Amino acid sequence: MPAFDYQLFVIGGGSGGVRAARIAANLGARVAIAESFRYGGTCVIRGCVPKKLLVYASHYAQAFADAAGFGWSVPAATFSWPKLIAAKDAEISKLSAMYEKNLLGAGVTVLQGAATVLDAHTVQLNGQRIRAEHILVATGGTPFLPNLPGIEHAITSNEVFNLPTQPKRVLIVGGGYIAVEFAGIFHGLGSDVTLAYRGEQILRGFDDDLRQHLHDEMAQKGIRIQLHADVTGIEKLADGSLQVGLRSGAADAAHAADASTRTEVFDAVLYATGRVPNTQGLGLAQAGVTLDKTGGVVVDDYGHSNVPSIHAVGDVTNRIALTPVAIREGAALANTLFGVAPTAADLTTVPSAVFSQPQIGTVGLTEAQALAKVAQIDIYRANFRALGRGLAGGKERTLVKLIVDSASQRVLGAHMVGDDAAEIIQSIAIAIRMGATKADFDATVALHPTSAEEFVTLRDKTTRIRA
């Protein structure tokens, strides 16, 4: 009888855990995986995939409006939130079933329930103790909610996909990618949207030019963005609406005296104030696993925790919270444990997108990051109205930006705000990862007429020197 029931037991059926389980099984390991909700994880069930479907839906109102400029006469359109959610649910159910089917096809034992770690080699699931040579924690993250009066009346990105009706007045609290994406979704679907963020500008951590450009475009569309603003409390009124206390004008404690407080009424308050690793109740600390201050599993480049038999990948490690990153980490860990050699996921150049309206695509260093790394940089920008916007009568403008090391002429970062930005940046990420120079970009023939061609026709530069 084997000392272990499985060579690998995976806790969490999201992208990282599923990829690790499938590859480990394909490498000949005995593998089991447990999921407490639905297979597919945050990305498939209540993240990237359903959110992108809602983004698509929200584009139609603008498309109908633009059509007249191209000679189309479009009858007055109506929108049904319940129909959209039902269609989304059907698609998500198909994808979740596909995840399970692929696991079973790889020979993985697929289990349902909330697994907890008892010790370095033991998990408990549905009252049963299971022994495993290796345990992989891939439980992802969960939305963060602050402690304030009435917070139980707010929703997060977990609940927003299943609202029975579309809220007509929405307050979105936060300034990150989830906040700006849902601001665009609800605005495009016809809701009145206010975004409140306590910081100085939305999308902290992104390039400053992109942050300002997106802010301006969102405001131009009619989304109210309130910076240096925070919620003081939420009260549910007799008619079901929410009265929200908003404090504005206090950028920090030193300027608290300048703050003003008012109340506004909304139909829904969506909190998008970040996510934290989902490790509560897993028993990791009791098993001796080191966690960071937010509960993230501390791991090395190979996904190993301080307990040799316990590993972690994806958002639960509190590093780069992107689905493709979790997938790479899961694959690398499986190969490390059961392949021919230890493998670390190469995450040196990770492209990312924000499906805001307009869209953001970015790869490499921001201007600030580049100046912290090299002494002098060349910055190339173009700010223009894309071809199709003219006939539509739209005001939306596109921004493209390259950041170049002045000394080596290597392109350190590429950033874009505009239609198809994510699709364009995906290809540019290959060039930047390979070490392309500005001359390489310049030598590439432009594909005309496109917005993407701007990246290979940029000529005017601004030089900045580290202070």
The CATH number given to whatever domain includes residue 423 is 3.30.390.30
Is 84 part of a structural domain of the chain? yes
Cα 101 from Cα 145, distance rounded (Å): 35
Would you state the pLDDT for residue 390?
84
Same domain, 217 and 241: yes
Is 345 part of a structural domain of the chain? no
Cα 282 from Cα 115, distance rounded (Å): 7
Would you state the pLDDT for residue 254?
53
β-partners of residue 193 are: 170
What burial class does residue 259 get, using C-beta atoms within 10 Å of its C-beta: 0-12 exposed, 13-18 middle, 19+ buried?
A: middle
β-partners of residue 34 are: 11, 111
Who's near 253: CB < 8 A, 6+ residues apart? none
Is 394 part of a structural domain of the chain? yes
Would you state the pLDDT for residue 257?
54
Is 346 part of a structural domain of the chain? no
Same domain, 69 and 179: no
- Per-residue pLDDT tens digits for 410-430: 999 999 999 999 999 999 999
Residue pointed to by tokens 């201050």: 293
Residue 215 bears catalytic tag: no
Is 347 part of a structural domain of the chain? no
Query: What's the full length of the chain, in residues?
Result: 467
Residue pointed to by tokens 């479907």: 53
Residue 270's closest CA among 141, 157, 184? 157
What single DSSP character describes residue 123? E
Same domain, 329 and 432: no
Same domain, 209 and 170: yes
Residue 357's closest CA among 192, 455, 215, 225? 215
Would you state the pLDDT for residue 432?
98
Is 22 part of a structural domain of the chain? yes
Question: Do 404 and 438 meet the contact criterion of CB atoms below 8 Å apart?
Answer: yes
What single DSSP character describes residue 297? B
Cα 60 from Cα 83, distance rounded (Å): 15
Alpha-carbon distances, residue 145 vs 148, 150, 271, 275 (angstroms) = 9, 11, 7, 9
Cα 288 from Cα 367, distance rounded (Å): 41
Ramachandran region of residue 201, left (φ > 0), alpha (ψ -120 to 50) or beta?
beta
Residues of the domain holding 25: 6-142+276-338
pLDDT along the chain (467 residues), means of 10: 87 97 98 96 94 97 93 93 98 96 98 97 97 98 96 97 97 98 98 97 98 98 97 97 90 59 96 96 97 97 98 97 96 97 94 98 98 98 92 91 98 97 98 98 97 97 94
Same domain, 11 and 128: yes
Helix (H) or strand (E) holding 414: strand 411-417
Domain boundary at 338, 368, 385, which? 338
Would you state the pLDDT for residue 419?
95
HSE (side-chain half, CA atoms, 13 Å) at 445: 1
Which residue blocks in 265-356 are alpha helix, DSSP H?
323-338
Cα 296 from Cα 58, distance rounded (Å): 34
Same domain, 117 and 15: yes
Residue 278's closest CA among 338, 321, 309, 249? 321
Domain boundary at 338, 369, 388, which? 338
Same domain, 283 and 256: no
Catalytic residue selected from 304, 311, 415, 448: 448
Same domain, 47 and 100: yes
Same domain, 98 and 10: yes
What single DSSP character describes residue 396? -
Residue pointed to by tokens 């609940």: 159
Same domain, 164 and 17: no
Helix (H) or strand (E) holding 286: none
Domain count, the chain: 3
Is 221 part of a structural domain of the chain? yes
Cα 391 from Cα 394, distance rounded (Å): 8
Number of other CB atoms surrounding residue 368 within 10 Å = 12
Cα 179 from Cα 197, distance rounded (Å): 9
Same domain, 138 and 10: yes
Residue pointed to by tokens 């600030």: 368
Q: Residue 121 has which token pair? A: 């080699």
Cα 396 from Cα 353, distance rounded (Å): 19
Is 70 part of a structural domain of the chain? yes
Who's near 276: CB < 8 A, 6+ residues apart? 141, 142, 144, 294, 295, 296, 318
Same domain, 280 and 313: yes
The SS3 of residue 184 is helix
Cα 98 from Cα 223, distance rounded (Å): 37
Who's near 419: CB < 8 A, 6+ residues apart? 358, 359, 386, 398, 451
Residue pointed to by tokens 């690790």: 20
Residue pointed to by tokens 């590093």: 319
Model pTM greater than 0.75? yes
